Amino acid sequence: MPKHTEEKEITVGFIGNPNCGKTTLFNAFTGANLKVANWPGVTVERVEGSTTYKGRTIKLIDLPGIYSLASYSIEEKVSRKCIMQENIDVVVNVVDASSLERNLYLTLQLLEMGKPVILALNMMDIVEERGMEIDLHRLPEMLGGIPVVPVSARKRTGLDVLLHAVLHHYEEGVKDRVVHYEPELEAAISRTEENLKKYYGELVHSRWYAIKLLEQDEEIIQYYPKAAVAADINYEKQIIHQKYNYIDEIVEDTLFNKESKAQATDKVDKYLTHPVWGVPIFLGIMALVFFLTFTVGDFLKGYFEIALDWFSGAVSGLLIKLAVADWLQSLLVDGIIAGVGGILTFLPNIFILFLALAFLEDSGYMARVAYVMDGIMGMLGLSGKAFLPMVLGFGCTVPAVMATRALEKEKDRKRTILITPFMSCSARLPIYVLFADMFFGKYAMLAAYSLYLAGVLAAIGIALVINHFDRGKTEGTLLIELPEYKSPNARTIAIYVWEKVKDYLTKAGTTIFIASIILWFLLNFNLQGMTEHVADSFGAEIGKILEPVLRPAGLGMWQIGVALISGISAKEVVVSSFSVLFGIGNINSAAGMTELTGILESVGFTALNAYALMIFCLLYTPCAATIATIKKETHSWKWTLGMVLFQLVFAWLAAVLVYQIGGLFL
């Protein structure tokens, strides 16, 4: 590592096992509101932030949680590359003190990399609660003298001490020989180090590279092929084994009263992961989540509507008083306020949905879902782990698609990415709330439920078909850590929910705002300039092209064509489009709904048409942000566009089926 002592910035990399409280600690320093959850694999990309301590700027990088520095998963590769190649001055290894034994494995590997390491002993409160004790003098001794700092990310203690340690140790190297392997292995390491030197000159941390070469690490072999040992000799098993032997020694020497207290987690697990009742309990919990979303959300919604009505009226009045040009009045009131404001009234539903999901994630239940659903997912050729992104999909498809990184195999990832958009995300919620309320009266909630179910069934059906033609070999390969249950932390949940609410508001202020303006323009102009008759506008022209295609699905209105195209920018835009298209000021209010229902019913648009529309919205092309994420994750435009096309056709077929078959009975 080149030693330029810049007085300004120190770069610190946060690394640790999944679910060790790394991100919570990172947030405590940077004030950044990163998402935290009590299940492994939340941080899928590195995130940066910064803080200052004693006048020095300290740049912090939060890396994905990993168990080891091998190169088997994407997260491991990302983290390792970051530590190896970037100018990270200090590594802060965050360790779950209540699970020291497993966490130290990563620590020993980090020490071998030769960068300064500081051990942040997190969750010391839990250790104390359980009556365990850690010898804080002996532990650093056994880890080559690195600083060991007890912290509590949740209670925000020990933070300054940690920064102090960063400041004082960032220039110190570590003893790269904390673990002494058995003589045979040490000899092999020395031989490989010599070979490295012979072919590639003097290397910093050559011991680490030598060890990785002996482990047959694919990446390192590519860098230093000449120093690699014969492919049939793999020392990896021995190396892991001997590291754990050393960990056993450390634990023996430093940890006291191990597990003296019975753990509540096992008792709770008796019920929640019950062989028979596990699945029904999970379904019940999800049903409760959506019940709360609809009922409590609807209760709060009323106040938002009153506020919007008042605001819209006030702006309108003001504009008339100021004698603002007609077109500008129209743009502001019919375009922007109707479009953006209409979406804002759904905020309470979104808020409740994410609050419920935050509770599930923070409590530690989410990882159990992977176990509970493993049997069912096995029939689809996927592991239970693939179910986690699907549950996340109920919130937003974008992070759900990114969460598929936790799946080891590329094929499983792609399958999961393909079916995740069928899980009804929160953006589709306004569509269901609106149309179910308008056309299904007291059965509105049932209608909305059925769409969630239809989405899940579509996902399962497609996975089944794929598995029929291309049998997945992942059956029974589930492997996931189940964290301890904990009472959800108010701060963590607040950050999580606020992040989502902020996203929603941002989307309303950007995507939906712009979409509303464009839509307003398309609906009020044609080649001759501004037009009085919507039916002559650009928008109508575009919509009319789609009319014949959508007719078999009962959606043969040019307005619907326009709304669906706009909906690709963000699914909520389908709803805001209806406001703008039909000139309804407050679409989510009783008056607004009655008005829209009246207009639609007058052209023969019934509950069946509404249901076909909702089915189409559920299944068709996900929003632009999702498409971009899928492209990024799959690295293939061909695959992404193929998926988009498939979903479009699938949605059309499903909507046509619903409308045609429904028509036979109604």
Partner 1 sequence: MTLYEGKTGFTYVVKGIHLEQNSITRRLEALGLNEMTGVQILNRKRSGAFIIKVRGTRLAIGKYIAQGIEVEEVKKNA
Tokens of 382: 């996927």
Write down the least CB distance from residue 181 to partner 1, Å.
Answer: 15
CB 431 within 8 Å of CB 587: no
Query: Does residue number 101 form part of the binding site for partner 1 (CB under 8 A)?
Result: yes
Query: Does residue number 194 form part of the binding site for partner 1 (CB under 8 A)?
Result: no
Write down the least CB distance from residue 182 to partner 1, Å.
Answer: 15
**CB of 477 or CB of 526, closer to partner 1:** 477
What CA–CA distance (Å, rounded) separates 86 from 609? 57
Binding residue (CB under 8 A) for partner 1 from 219, 408, 499, 536: 408
Q: Which of residues 364-383 bind partner 1 (CB under 8 A)?
A: 367-368, 370-371, 374-375, 378, 383
Q: Is 14 exposed, middle or buried (0-12, 13-18, 19+ CB in 10 A)?
A: buried
**CB of 18 or CB of 335, closer to partner 1:** 18
Beta bridge partners of residue 47, listed in sequence order: 62
Query: Does residue number 60 form part of the binding site for partner 1 (CB under 8 A)?
Result: no
Q: Which amino acid is at 433?
A: V
Write down the least CB distance from residue 227 to partner 1, Å.
Answer: 21
Binding residue (CB under 8 A) for partner 1 from 20, 28, 42, 70: 70
What CA–CA distance (Å, rounded) separates 189 from 210? 6
Write down the least CB distance from residue 68 to partner 1, Å.
Answer: 4
- Among 106, 89, 92, 101, which Cα is nearest to 153's? 92
Q: List b or e across 265-280, with b for residues whose CB sees 16 or more CB atoms inside 10 angstroms.
A: eeebbeebbeeeebee
Binding residue (CB under 8 A) for partner 1 from 478, 519, 581, 656: 478
CA angle 615, 617, 619 (to 5 degrees): 70
Write down the least CB distance from residue 73 to partner 1, Å.
Answer: 8
Binding residue (CB under 8 A) for partner 1 from 3, 8, 226, 237: 237
Query: Does residue number 476 form part of the binding site for partner 1 (CB under 8 A)?
Result: yes
**CB of 42 or CB of 165, closer to partner 1:** 42
Distances (CA, A) of 552 to 450, 548, 613, 620: 22, 8, 12, 16
What CA–CA distance (Å, rounded) separates 384 from 366? 11
Edge-to-edge strands, sheet with 117-122: 47-53, 56-62, 9-16, 90-96, 117-122, 148-150
Q: Which of residues 79-98 bind partner 1 (CB under 8 A)?
A: 98
Tokens of 111: 């020490």
Angle formed by the axes of helices 429-440 and 590-602, to 10°?
A: 70
What CA–CA distance (Å, rounded) separates 328 from 285? 48
What CA–CA distance (Å, rounded) separates 11 from 91? 9
The piece of 114-122, 179-187, 472-480, 495-503 that touches partner 1 (CB under 8 A) is 472-480
Q: Please report the DSSP string for 609-657 in residue order.
A: HHHHHHHHHHHS---HHHHHHHHHHHT-HHHHHHHHHHHHHHHHHHHHH
Query: Does residue number 475 form part of the binding site for partner 1 (CB under 8 A)?
Result: yes
CB 193 within 8 Å of CB 207: yes
CB 63 within 8 Å of CB 43: yes
Write down the least CB distance from residue 244 to partner 1, Å.
Answer: 5
The piece of 1-9, 43-51, 241-249, 458-466 that touches partner 1 (CB under 8 A) is 241-249
The piece of 237-245, 353-361, 453-461, 622-630 that touches partner 1 (CB under 8 A) is 237-245
**CB of 102 or CB of 156, closer to partner 1:** 102
Query: Does residue number 125 form part of the binding site for partner 1 (CB under 8 A)?
Result: no
What CA–CA distance (Å, rounded) separates 380 from 377? 5
Binding residue (CB under 8 A) for partner 1 from 14, 67, 439, 520: 67
Write down the least CB distance from residue 481 to partner 1, Å.
Answer: 6
Query: Does residue number 68 form part of the binding site for partner 1 (CB under 8 A)?
Result: yes
**CB of 130 or CB of 544, closer to partner 1:** 130
N residues, the chain: 666
Write down the least CB distance from residue 448 to partner 1, Å.
Answer: 31
Q: How far is CA 192 from the centre of its chain?
A: 41
Binding residue (CB under 8 A) for partner 1 from 240, 300, 514, 625: 240
Q: Which amino acid is at 243?
A: K
Write down the least CB distance from residue 108 to partner 1, Å.
Answer: 11
**CB of 250 or CB of 568, closer to partner 1:** 250
Write down the least CB distance from residue 391 to partner 1, Å.
Answer: 15
Binding residue (CB under 8 A) for partner 1 from 14, 26, 39, 105: 105
Write down the least CB distance from residue 247 to partner 1, Å.
Answer: 8
Binding residue (CB under 8 A) for partner 1 from 480, 495, 550, 575: 480
Q: Which amino acid is at 572?
A: E
Looking at 181-318, which runs of residues are DSSP E strands? 255-256
- Among 595, 642, 589, 647, which Cα is nearest to 617's? 647
Write down the least CB distance from residue 213 to partner 1, Å.
Answer: 15
Write down the least CB distance from residue 543 to partner 1, Å.
Answer: 49
**CB of 142 or CB of 240, closer to partner 1:** 240
**CB of 141 or CB of 475, closer to partner 1:** 475
**Which alpha helices (H) appear in 510-586, and where do they start and end?**
511-524, 538-550, 558-566, 572-582
What CA–CA distance (Å, rounded) separates 500 from 626? 16
What CA–CA distance (Å, rounded) separates 294 from 64? 35
- Kindly write out the interface string for residues 254-283 of this chain, putting x where it contacts partner 1 by CB under 8 A and - elsewhere: ----xx-----xx--xx--x-x--x-----
Q: Is 217 exposed, middle or buried (0-12, 13-18, 19+ CB in 10 A)?
A: buried
**CB of 219 or CB of 269, closer to partner 1:** 269
**CB of 129 or CB of 266, closer to partner 1:** 266
Query: Does residue number 611 form part of the binding site for partner 1 (CB under 8 A)?
Result: no
Query: Does residue number 467 form part of the binding site for partner 1 (CB under 8 A)?
Result: no
Q: List b or e across 316-355, with b for residues whose CB sees 16 or more CB atoms inside 10 angstroms.
A: beebeeeeeeeeebbbbbbbbbbbbbbbbbbbbbbbbbbb
**CB of 370 or CB of 596, closer to partner 1:** 370
Write down the least CB distance from residue 232 to partner 1, Å.
Answer: 13
Write down the least CB distance from residue 28 to partner 1, Å.
Answer: 24
- Kindly write out the interface string for residues 553-572 of this chain, putting x where it contacts partner 1 by CB under 8 A and - elsewhere: --------------------
Counting residues that bind partner 1 (by CB under 8 A) gives 43
**CB of 98 or CB of 450, closer to partner 1:** 98
Under the rule (CB under 8 A), what is the footprint of partner 1?
67-68, 70, 72, 98-99, 101-102, 105, 236-237, 240-241, 244, 247, 258-259, 265-266, 269-270, 273, 275, 278, 367-368, 370-371, 374-375, 378, 383-384, 408, 475-483
